[in-house]
Amino acid sequence: MRVIKEIHSLVLMNDANNRGVYRRVPVTIMGAAHTPPQPYLVPAQMELLLAEYEDIKREKHIIEAIAEFHLRFEGIHPFIDGNGRTGRLILNLELIKAGMLPVNIKFADRRKYYDCFDDYYSNGYTPETLVQLIAGYEVAELERHINILEG
């Protein structure tokens, strides 16, 4: 949890009142199929997510585990601002820790990315759509690195 708050502090470095601090007000996500929990539930839900993430990593492929974590993290929406940036940095940190390459979710693919959340929260909490998006980016990054080495 400390690492997540530290990453968020970097994302919101110019907002001394909110950086690294769980939100204290209810929020809604425009156009989302999911409503984040009330602020008093955020600390417990984050602790549960971190504990369950350890189990998920043992049971699933690392990309599936990272996708599941990311979808749930964004669903909790623990901070008042900077959740997306923080979540994507955590996603890449976890990929790197697993020996994979970081991915850049392209602005042009933002609709596909947002659709992953709607799909997760409206279709039985299956992370498959985001798994495919991350895996596709990972393959593209690997191919890019191979081309650099061959060139």
pLDDT at position 32 is 79
Per-block mean pLDDT, blocks of 10 residues, the chain (151 long): 95 95 92 90 98 97 98 97 97 98 93 95 94 97 95 86
Q: What is the pTM of this model?
A: 0.94
User: For position 93, what pLDDT does the model report?
Assistant: 98
- List the domain range (segments joined by +) for residue 67: 2-150
Cα–Cα–Cα angle for 109, 110, 114, nearest 5°?
125
Number of domains making up the chain: 1
Q: What CATH number has the domain bearing residue 114?
A: 1.10.3290.10
Are the beta carbons of 76 and 36 closer than 8 angstroms? yes
> What pLDDT sits at residue 151?
86
pLDDT at 31: 76
Q: Mention every residue, 6+ apart, whose C-beta is less than 8 A from residue 22.
A: 39, 42, 43, 46, 78, 79
CB 133 within 8 A of CB 116: yes
* pLDDT of res. 10: 97
pLDDT at 29: 84
